[in-house]
Amino acid sequence: MPTVGGGFVAAMTCAAFDMKQLGLLYFGAGLLSWLTLESVVIHRLILKSLPVPLRASLGLHLAPPAVACVAYLAVTDGPPDKFAQILFGYALFYALVTARLVPWLRQQPFSPAAWAYTFGISALPLAALRLTERGLEGPSASLAVPLFAAANLIIGWIALRTLSLLLRGKLLPVRPLEMRAEGDG
């Protein structure tokens, strides 16, 4: 996933410095890296084959379509084209799939790993807002504010749960001394 996120974030950074042509190169690298990994992710989602301790890692996979939409809009000009709308639609699809899997995902006890979801959760309303800013009307414009509110509630819930773990001294579990001595050799 580093090549995916790195490519998209580099594209947005290039656009911020008015280097959109270079940003398109990074966008392409991120997009093709994402597409090569996508079948593995979909396979895991469909089969629900991920062991319980690794399920929070799926949170990272919520981000690529939404971040790709934001990056694409950063390196292009004018009203959003069909490709931007397709990326946003796929991001919404991923959000719905993830919402459907919440009972399965919550079999893993809450941990700091839940922060993996926040990148995608925050990128989705940003994509909707950027589409609306650029003049797109319809579903993305209608969903922008509700997605923004939902993202804030979810990220706030994750922050509160993390704070609760911290206050109870359970944020970073400590291994017993004898286990550290054996594993440090």
Residue-wise pLDDT for 131-143, tens only, equals 999 999 999 999 9
Both tokens of 144, joined, read 């922008």
Q: What pLDDT sits at residue 177?
A: 60
At CB < 8 A and 24+ separation, what contacts does 128-133 make?
A: 128/88, 130/69, 130/70, 130/73, 130/74, 131/69, 131/73, 131/80, 131/84, 131/85, 131/88
Q: Where are the domains of the chain?
A: 2-172
When pLDDT is averaged across residues 97-110 and rounded to a whole number, the result is 87
Q: What pLDDT sits at residue 178?
A: 59
Tens-place pLDDT, residues 10-69:
999 999 999 999 999 999 999 999 999 888 777 776 776 777 877 787 788 889 999 999
- Cα–Cα–Cα angle for 169, 177, 160, rounded to 5 degrees: 15
For 55, the 3-state DSSP assignment is helix
Q: Which is it for the CA torsion 51, 54, 56, 57, positive or negative?
A: negative
Q: What pLDDT sits at residue 181?
A: 54
How many CA atoms, within 13 angstroms, populate the side-chain half-sphere of residue 29?
Answer: 17
Q: Which of 15, 14, 25, 123 is nearest to 68 (CA)?
A: 123
Q: Give every CB contact of residue 1 below 8 A, 6+ residues apart in sequence.
A: 37, 60, 61, 64
CB 126, CB 70: distance < 8 Å? yes
CB 31, CB 67: distance < 8 Å? no
Q: What pLDDT sits at residue 155?
A: 97
Both tokens of 4, joined, read 């995916």
The number of residues making up the chain comes to 185
CB 75, CB 27: distance < 8 Å? yes
pTM of the model: 0.86
Instruction: State in words which class domain 2-172 has.
Output: mainly alpha
Residue 91: pLDDT band with limits 50, 70, 90: very high
Q: What pLDDT sits at residue 145?
A: 97
What's the rounded Cα separation, in Å, for the pair 125 and 40? Answer: 26
Residue 179: pLDDT band with limits 50, 70, 90: low
